[in-house]
Amino acid sequence: MSRELVYTGFMSLDGVVDSPGGKEEGHRGGGWVMDTEFVPEAYSLKGEELADHTALLFGRRSYEAFAPYWRESDDHVAYRDLPKYVLSTGLAEQDLLDGWGPTTILRTVEDVVRLKESEGGAIFIHGSAELARRLADADLIDRYNLLVFPVLLGAGKGLFSREDRDKTQLRLRESATYSNGVAKLVYDVVR
């Protein structure tokens, strides 16, 4: 039995996942999540996911952005002791952040395959759009947990590959819409 690999994130209606939290993340339209009226139930998916998390997987840039903030964040206490994995060819052991639980550097997609084949529960990818595209192209992602925001950004990092590849069929597991225009879409990858 393979561990489930889940991508979870915020996405604009036109498929951009770049810089939801602020312009300092790199996109000129950054902070688009904060520009949407806050409706607590629209974020309930994030709380529901916590029960499923048994490990986190990041690309290098997302790890470097999230680790210092999440280590100190009361909203992310549940992540502190979870095993964390970073897929990177350049990150060194001394670059890992102390005090944020066990972290393992993976060097190849094949390392992710071995991780999925190991014992344990769901592994969640937060952010890490380039990593998610790469793993989707390798047919390794099993589920997408998306909060789609009512904004068009036009350009930025997209979650899904634009490469010519075989069709991937998805099955809607759960959906909801909220008064602020956010839509929750949870899709399983059909194999």
Q: Is the pLDDT of residue 118 over 90?
A: yes
Rounded mean pLDDT, 130-142? 94
> What percent of the chain is modeled with pLDDT above 70?
94
Distance CA 129, CA 60 (A): 11
Confidence of residue 1 (pLDDT cuts 50, 70, 90): low
The pLDDT assigned to 156 comes to 83
pLDDT digits (tens, 9 = 90+) for 78-114: 888 899 999 999 999 999 999 898 999 999 999 999 9
Q: Is the pLDDT of residue 26 over 90?
A: no
| CA proximity to 103, closest of 57, 62, 141 | 57
Domains and CATH numbers, the chain: 5-189 (3.40.430.10)
Confidence of residue 22 (pLDDT cuts 50, 70, 90): low
Q: Is the pLDDT of residue 23 over 70?
A: no
